[in-house]
Amino acid sequence: MQRIAMLGSGFIGRFYADSLQGQRSRDKVISIYSRREESAKKFANQYGCTHWTTKMEEAISRPEVTIVCIALPNNLHEEAVLLCCKHKKAVMTTKPLGRNATEAKRMLDAVEKAGIFNGYLEDLVYTPKFLKSMESVKNGALGRILWAKSRETHPGPHSEWFWDIEQAGGGCILDLGCHCVEITRSFIGKDIKPVEVMCWADTQVKPIDAEDHAIALVKYENGAIGQFEVSWTFRGGMDLRDEVMGTEGTIWSNGFLRTGLEMFTTGKGGDYIAEKAESNTGWLFPVGDEINDLGYNHMFTDMFTALEGGKAPKETFYDGYVVNAILDAAYKSAKTKLWEPVNLEVWRGQTGITRHSHLQEYDADHYLVKEEMTHYGARKVILKNKHSNKISEKIIGDLGAGLPNHGL
Amino acid sequence: MQRIAMLGSGFIGRFYADSLQGQRSRDKVISIYSRREESAKKFANQYGCTHWTTKMEEAISRPEVTIVCIALPNNLHEEAVLLCCKHKKAVMTTKPLGRNATEAKRMLDAVEKAGIFNGYLEDLVYTPKFLKSMESVKNGALGRILWAKSRETHPGPHSEWFWDIEQAGGGCILDLGCHCVEITRSFIGKDIKPVEVMCWADTQVKPIDAEDHAIALVKYENGAIGQFEVSWTFRGGMDLRDEVMGTEGTIWSNGFLRTGLEMFTTGKGGDYIAEKAESNTGWLFPVGDEINDLGYNHMFTDMFTALEGGKAPKETFYDGYVVNAILDAAYKSAKTKLWEPVNLEVWRGQTGITRHSHLQEYDADHYLVKEEMTHYGARKVILKNKHSNKISEKIIGDLGAGLPNHGL
Amino acid sequence: MQRIAMLGSGFIGRFYADSLQGQRSRDKVISIYSRREESAKKFANQYGCTHWTTKMEEAISRPEVTIVCIALPNNLHEEAVLLCCKHKKAVMTTKPLGRNATEAKRMLDAVEKAGIFNGYLEDLVYTPKFLKSMESVKNGALGRILWAKSRETHPGPHSEWFWDIEQAGGGCILDLGCHCVEITRSFIGKDIKPVEVMCWADTQVKPIDAEDHAIALVKYENGAIGQFEVSWTFRGGMDLRDEVMGTEGTIWSNGFLRTGLEMFTTGKGGDYIAEKAESNTGWLFPVGDEINDLGYNHMFTDMFTALEGGKAPKETFYDGYVVNAILDAAYKSAKTKLWEPVNLEVWRGQTGITRHSHLQEYDADHYLVKEEMTHYGARKVILKNKHSNKISEKIIGDLGAGLPNHGL
Amino acid sequence: MQRIAMLGSGFIGRFYADSLQGQRSRDKVISIYSRREESAKKFANQYGCTHWTTKMEEAISRPEVTIVCIALPNNLHEEAVLLCCKHKKAVMTTKPLGRNATEAKRMLDAVEKAGIFNGYLEDLVYTPKFLKSMESVKNGALGRILWAKSRETHPGPHSEWFWDIEQAGGGCILDLGCHCVEITRSFIGKDIKPVEVMCWADTQVKPIDAEDHAIALVKYENGAIGQFEVSWTFRGGMDLRDEVMGTEGTIWSNGFLRTGLEMFTTGKGGDYIAEKAESNTGWLFPVGDEINDLGYNHMFTDMFTALEGGKAPKETFYDGYVVNAILDAAYKSAKTKLWEPVNLEVWRGQTGITRHSHLQEYDADHYLVKEEMTHYGARKVILKNKHSNKISEKIIGDLGAGLPNHGL
């Protein structure tokens, strides 16, 4: 059983507490730190915490606390982590780990030097859909992974600090891209080295200094491509979609806006709507169990099971550091307009990987380009001669029926 | 914290145990009863139960047990319930409560006489999608409920006893209809009396004595209609869909086959498929977190929270009894081909409800039939004269654009 | 090339004309009859008709007219048909054919006696989705058909005459049920005799004399079941969905509200919305090409190809008559609350069909109940002994992985 | 009425002919040219052409021909176009116009010099879904367009010549990217100048010289971004999806794999499947009316209506040239790894466009960053001070209910 000190009583702190203490959980948030006394008290009251404080170290250092959960703005992560190191307390930090890789590296070094348990709270690689997809990717259902894309876009964050580049460290790339990078990196393989990044970013709509829309490609050593699409300017709700393409299959995952629950309401029923809000009428797409569907339950289960078993969780500060390094390259690329290398001072995965061959043997003299059923019922192979490079086609069987295919 | 005796180590017993002990749960299955020693031992080993037995009473009577969970074939529910009464143990029973209302009524009377906690494990009114939908129905987003349908069809159950009418008590009506009846009854209002049932049932495909396909309508006192569609002959997986229609809106819920996760696989990747099984290739629709999505987590949370708070859970033996009474009427109707009354010896909901009026006033002389935007931009009302019954239409505004509508 | 006299200039007349003269069509509406001069003139002007009239016979009798298209309220069909007979003009009538089977039968007899081409304009068995589905049903992809359902619900028709039971002849059963009956009948087999009908109908919302919501089951001689769900009280647009279940497969078709085009709009863009209409903001689901998607193009192509080839079209007055007979039984059943026989004075399909056997042989002594892969990797068969009726299970292989299945 | 000479009797020639002569069309393919006599004869026979030939000029020069339709491999477009110029015949060419912009420019110059009608057969900007979406974009439903993406991926083309870089001129960028570029360019505005392109391309799977997977970003003068994702390595069918994001809304369009028609089949029914093909069992997603849904009907209607009206069609050789210029930049970028400028010798759209401002005024001293309903019922604005750049938040109302939003 875990006794948790929660640092931060905002939106994400509440999401964490709902998950940590939800259902029949044996864990408990016992201390809450918030910068504002009013918020700390309110949180303590709502979640039944025995202790609240506006002094960070006070929460961290309490002897009954077994683990510290950092749910603070990005610019306060490092301070909190260093205090955990000082008091040798297990620590979990919300995403992103740092505002950049330099900050992240300092935190990584600190926790490893202190020898404390460190968890990186990247919930979106713990969603039930992701876990199920990952299982299929691992057992080979998709063959060799060629491309993985993750998209997170919505109309912008709730809290003011996100919009302040000093506190946040960046815009939607840092806020949302960190999720996308870890999702796609997981599909491609966390032991495959990210090599370089090309990123477009712009401030298209919001009167802010940071970017509100960005798209990036991340090239991995084995030739696979990760992609992220992030924005604070999307209209229509929160769009969370992932796609993976392999040589033998594909996965499409929709995490939020299309999950099999659809409601139409005129908004005229009963006392439903106090004020006619745009998003409360017409076709709506509620999510059943947000906390479980967004991965919080499986994430904390992994964290605490690892902690109690003396093991590292699936996501550690090292992962947070790699993500920050990739995002740093994205930011640089958005400025230089060049593919920028991912600078990883520490790399703990495979090295010297070569690209997979794309040559599939058909017979001694030919490679196989494609095999298909024609719509007139024959089996056809398209071949490439190994010596002359000439393309030819060959009809083999004469039964079966194929589907027409577009693009000629 | 609950210490559970599980009766039954089959498919559903395992589903329950996975939920009960899942994530960071503080509850524990401590004793397992199975009719077969081998099964009991295997279950005890896998779920870490400290005690196993092939004698039902032995499991129930253990002093450390705080609640008994019945996961046995339908014909053994009553025996198990009576033993719980004898030992004054809180009890939860899998669905359906009895093989018919007579059996269910005896169990209801027994637990109420014994004064023990009784929970009816109807998981599908605890799915995150149902809970979210129910919330919208309750707060009026759909207006007055007119019709609620629930569909559960699949290619047939796993265990042999289901196919034996003696043990099961019936076919897909009893097995699947019990879910559907409680879902639709909840949407319409559990305090609204079910009045009569019309049911079609047939054995269309399977060489069995019970029905393998059935459709029924359940009329409620306020004029609302419940509907179920159940089958053991559906091809394509497990189809779990609910629909609710109200005067101000509609809800469509897809619980299993279309939840936002889609995978295509050729089946040629890695070691994925040992044998080329039909259902392991092509487009597949996995469910992320089956246990949570099917309602088990929220169900047991409600059960134990109620038990610990000295309250009745949302679903009690009384609900199970009402469901059985409705299904009895369905079985009778399938034979007599008549609308059959629902016989409820005990009714604890509202009585003397009258049907809602369908007359919406427009002005002193007219009722409003319909108001709409025409596609040529005008607002039009269709009215019915209160005295002459004559229908007329009236153009009001001349702005806006409507969508064409079919069916003339 | 066809020269068409159009009778009726309302909503459906315009839909027909848009289809008839759409794209690169060689056909032309040359004469338009409307009861109101203003409407006739407007239509003639918009569609380039050389002739307009407020006298029905004038339109029908014009020598250059090769076919008459009836797009009038239900109570005027018979008069129009008889005039076509008198002038020996090919005729096509919108659905339903009559207000009841008696009326329909008179029209059928008249056109057959006159020996004129007669087409029944049931567009929804000509939608691209229906045609594609039907092809799969015909070539056996679904095995033996067990059940077919069609649903059409929307917030009510546009024109006032629909709401007047005298002109319309009924409510949503007649208006929408005629579509559903012909769709499901086609899937089950138009040569299979409909035997009896059970129907629930009610006026739940609208201040009208006819029903605004109904559900019915239609039993066919081979044991298959047709189902329709129709309503004028649905909120959320026009819901057009069909389902077919066979022993080897299933089809789900969504004709209108979910066709792969999704739009979110705040409604604040440009001049988009003159008046903030409820249905013009939020998530919207437009249909790409309504005329083609609702079957009008393929319907008229079939009609004229048949006419020019001297053949009967796919849908004739005879089909309209069968539909009316089924709907008559539905109306009767809604009143008597009994399964009512379908009275067909003329039956041109198969007779003396027996129900399919549901006994699948496994070996000399057993029937096969079910074969499946268990999740622990074995192949399992559930058998029924032919003599003792005892159910047993048998494990066969031990490889492969199955999907868990609910409902125990 | 048009009398068409079709050049090319392959896959796309047949698709064109099916559309041109489909339904009740008044147009006719009267002459067919194919390089192979056998193919020409077969096509002439199937489509009722009165003339066939293996000499291109013979087909083009026939006096009764009113328009020539080029459905040949890319490397033969120019020769065919020049012959049309020589014989002053109206001409339509399949996509892409040329293998590169230089070739395209020569064709553009030739037809304009000859003064002949020229149509560019980009069917995917004529699909019913695209036309409907475009209408919404034009009337402002999405506000200012920020980003438009088009994706076309499938397992590779049918005909051998596609795989031969000499005949095709490129790989999937040229084959599929041409569709995507014109779709996204249309949404952003065909009069907005494309400025530069960043492209990743690779040969990941196929043993060919051209690319089999590519992703690109196209920057437009007003700051909007076009994106394409193309591949010949996708498994699961043909994936055709478009997305558009604007300041006031979004559109998602699925053109092929999810259009509202879903079928499951075990493949064991009747004579359905001659050989157990992987793609003929399990869940399948047929398209109702491929020819209409892929835009062919609306495309030819526009072409011929324009031709007969003496106007230019929506898509001309000039559009084909712009597309080629963008693709040339993509190819160059894939090699140089730089953003490459789009070289347009001729630009006929707007010039000197400046980027839209992203500063939305709130009051004299502040810009508005975001306005939202909090989940505790208050209306909140986030503001940026115009002078200090400081971010602040302000609570305004206190009613209403918002939806929780992720990513903090």
D287 touches chain C (CB under 8 A): yes
**Do C263 and D246 make contact, defined as CB atoms within 8 angstroms?**
no
**Do C260 and D260 make contact, defined as CB atoms within 8 angstroms?**
yes
Picking from D260, D285, D298, the residue whose alpha carbon sits closest to that of residue D132 is D298
**Do D139 and C300 make contact, defined as CB atoms within 8 angstroms?**
no
C69 Cβ contact partners less than 8 Å away, ≥ 6 residues apart: C4, C5, C6, C7, C16, C20, C29, C91, C92, C121
Chain A residue numbers with beta carbons less than 8 Å from the beta carbon of C233 are none
**Do D284 and B283 make contact, defined as CB atoms within 8 angstroms?**
yes
| Mean pLDDT over the full length of chain D | 92
Instruction: Look at residue C273 in the predicted model and tell me its pLDDT.
Output: 42
Which residues are C148's β-sheet partners? Answer: C226, C244
Instruction: Look at residue B376 in the predicted model and tell me its pLDDT.
Output: 61
Nearest CA in chain D to B263: D236
Residue C280 to residue B208: CA distance in whole angstroms: 52
Residue D224 to residue D229: CA distance in whole angstroms: 17
Least confident range of B194-208, B257-271, D86-100: B257-271
Assess whether pLDDT exceeds 50 at residue C403.
Answer: no
Amino acid letter for position B194: P
Instruction: Look at residue D395 in the predicted model and tell me its pLDDT.
Output: 85
A21 touches chain B (CB under 8 A): no
Amino acid letter for position C2: Q
- Looking at this predicted complex, what is its ipTM? 0.91
What number is the average pLDDT over the span A253-268?
Answer: 93
Measured between CA atoms, how close is D92 to chain B, in angstroms? 35
Instruction: Look at residue B23 in the predicted model and tell me its pLDDT.
Output: 93
Residue B330 to residue B229: CA distance in whole angstroms: 12
Chain D residue numbers with beta carbons less than 8 Å from the beta carbon of B278 are 266-267, 281-282
pLDDT per residue over A341-366, tens digit each? 999 999 999 998 888 777 888 999 99
Residue A311 to residue B261: CA distance in whole angstroms: 31
Nearest CA in chain D to C21: D24
What tokens does D349 get? Answer: 């759209």
Cα dihedral sign for D154, D156, D157, D163? Answer: positive
**Res. C408 pLDDT band, cuts 50 70 90:** very low
Residue C150 to residue B357: CA distance in whole angstroms: 28
Phi-psi region of C279 (alpha: psi -120 to 50; beta: other; left: phi over 0): alpha
Assess whether pLDDT exceeds 60 at residue A160.
Answer: yes
Segments of chain D scoring below 70 in pLDDT: 270-279, 374-377, 397-408
Which residues are D209's β-sheet partners? Answer: none
Picking from B50, D301, B317, D353, the residue whose alpha carbon sits closest to that of residue C291 is D301
The shortest CB-CB distance from C234 to any of B245, B360, B397 is to: B245
Cα end-to-end distance, chain B, whole Å: 61
Assess whether pLDDT exceeds 80 at residue B377.
Answer: no
D252 touches chain C (CB under 8 A): yes
What tokens does B302 get? Answer: 């409600």
Assess whether pLDDT exceeds 80 at residue A399.
Answer: no
Q: Is the peptide bond before A155 cis (omega within 30 degrees of 0)?
A: no
HSE-CB at D163 with a 13 A cutoff on CA atoms is: 27
A229 Cβ contact partners less than 8 Å away, ≥ 6 residues apart: A149, A150, A151, A152, A153, A180, A214, A215
| Mean pLDDT over the full length of chain B | 92
Interface test with B, best of A2, A18, A24 (most B CBs within 10 A): A24
Q: How far is CA C312 from CA A226, C91, C115, C119, D106, in A?
A: 58, 12, 11, 8, 54
Nearest CA in chain D to C20: D24
A102 vs B380, more confident: A102
Question: Using CB atoms, which chains have 3+ pairs under 8 A with B?
Answer: A, C, D
What number is the average pLDDT over the span A14-26?
Answer: 95
A231 touches chain D (CB under 8 A): yes
Instruction: Look at residue B375 in the predicted model and tell me its pLDDT.
Output: 58
What number is the average pLDDT over the span C112-116?
Answer: 98
Q: What is the DSSP letter of C28?
A: E
Cα dihedral sign for A172, A173, A174, A175? Answer: positive
CA C12, C15, C18: angle at the middle one, nearest 5? 150
Taking CB atoms and an 8 Å cut-off, how many pairs form between chains B and D? 34
pLDDT per residue over C347-364, tens digit each? 999 998 888 777 888 999
Which residues are B68's β-sheet partners? Answer: B5, B91
What number is the average pLDDT over the span C289-299?
Answer: 96
| E-assigned strand segments in C105-238 | 118-121, 145-153, 194-202, 213-220, 225-231
**CB atoms < 10 A from the CB of C309, how many?**
9
* Backbone angles phi and psi of B28, in degrees to 5: -150, 135
Residue D293 to residue D259: CA distance in whole angstroms: 10
Assess whether pLDDT exceeds 50 at residue A407.
Answer: no
Nearest CA in chain B to A257: B260
Instruction: Look at residue D160 in the predicted model and tell me its pLDDT.
Output: 87
B295 touches chain A (CB under 8 A): no
What tokens does A54 get? Answer: 């506006």
Chain C residue numbers with beta carbons less than 8 Å from the beta carbon of B359 are 207
Residue A304 to residue D322: CA distance in whole angstroms: 58
Assess whether pLDDT exceeds 50 at residue C225.
Answer: yes
Residue C323 to residue C313: CA distance in whole angstroms: 16
Three-state DSSP state, A74: helix
Percent of chain C beyond pLDDT 70?
Answer: 94
Assess whether pLDDT exceeds 80 at residue A217.
Answer: yes
Are D173 and D180 within 8 A, CB to CB? no
Residue D236 to residue D230: CA distance in whole angstroms: 14
Residue B150 to residue B214: CA distance in whole angstroms: 12
Three-state DSSP state, A336: helix
Kindly state the greatest CA–CA separation across chain D: 78
D351 touches chain A (CB under 8 A): no
Assess whether pLDDT exceeds 70 at residue B398.
Answer: no
Chain A residue numbers with beta carbons less than 8 Å from the beta carbon of B131 are 288-289
| Mean pLDDT over the full length of chain C | 92
D287 Cβ contact partners less than 8 Å away, ≥ 6 residues apart: C128, C132, D256, D259, D261, D293
Instruction: Look at residue B374 in the predicted model and tell me its pLDDT.
Output: 66
* Backbone angles phi and psi of D85, in degrees to 5: -60, -45
pLDDT per residue over B19-71, tens digit each? 999 999 999 999 999 999 999 999 999 999 999 999 999 999 999 999 999 99
Instruction: Look at residue B403 in the predicted model and tell me its pLDDT.
Output: 35
The shortest CB-CB distance from C281 to any of A264, A266, A282 is to: A282
The shortest CB-CB distance from C408 to any of B12, B204, B250 is to: B12
Residue B242 to residue D94: CA distance in whole angstroms: 47
Q: What is the DSSP letter of B338?
A: B
Measured between CA atoms, how close is C82 to chain B, in angstroms? 23
D115 Cβ contact partners less than 8 Å away, ≥ 6 residues apart: D88
Instruction: Look at residue D360 in the predicted model and tell me its pLDDT.
Output: 83
The shortest CB-CB distance from A264 to any of C235, C267, C281 is to: C235
The shortest CB-CB distance from C278 to any of A237, A282, A285 is to: A282
The full DSSP string for B142-193 is T-SEEEEEEEEE-S--SSGGGG-HHHHSSSHIIIIIHHHHHHHHHHH-TTSP
Measured between CA atoms, how close is A204 to chain C, in angstroms? 16
**Res. C121 pLDDT band, cuts 50 70 90:** very high
Amino acid letter for position D117: F
Residue D317 to residue D314: CA distance in whole angstroms: 10
D400 touches chain B (CB under 8 A): no
Kindly state the greatest CA–CA separation across chain A: 79
What number is the average pLDDT over the span A204-213?
Answer: 94
- Beta-strand relationship, A366-373 and A361-363: antiparallel
With 0-12 / 13-18 / 19 or more C-beta atoms within 10 angstroms meaning exposed / middle / buried, residue A196 is middle
Q: What is the DSSP letter of D355?
A: P
Three-state DSSP state, D65: coil
Residue C4 to residue C50: CA distance in whole angstroms: 11
Interface test with A, best of C205, C278, C281, C285 (most A CBs within 10 A): C278
Instruction: Look at residue D401 in the predicted model and tell me its pLDDT.
Output: 34
Assess whether pLDDT exceeds 90 at residue B280.
Answer: no
Residue D157 to residue D175: CA distance in whole angstroms: 9
Residue A359 to residue B408: CA distance in whole angstroms: 59
**Do A264 and B250 make contact, defined as CB atoms within 8 angstroms?**
yes
Instruction: Look at residue B103 in the predicted model and tell me its pLDDT.
Output: 98
A251 touches chain B (CB under 8 A): yes
Of all residues in chain A, what percent are helix, strand and coil, respectively (each to 5)?
Answer: 35, 25, 40
**Do B288 and A129 make contact, defined as CB atoms within 8 angstroms?**
yes
Q: How far is CA A311 from CA A225, A305, A306, B300, B306, in A?
A: 31, 8, 5, 30, 36
**Do C23 and D301 make contact, defined as CB atoms within 8 angstroms?**
yes
Interface test with B, best of A289, A301, A373 (most B CBs within 10 A): A289
The shortest CB-CB distance from D249 to any of C128, C249, C269 is to: C269
Measured between CA atoms, how close is D246 to chain B, in angstroms? 22
pLDDT per residue over D269-312, tens digit each? 755 443 333 467 899 999 999 999 999 999 999 999 999 999 99
**Do C141 and D292 make contact, defined as CB atoms within 8 angstroms?**
no
Residue D76 to residue D54: CA distance in whole angstroms: 14
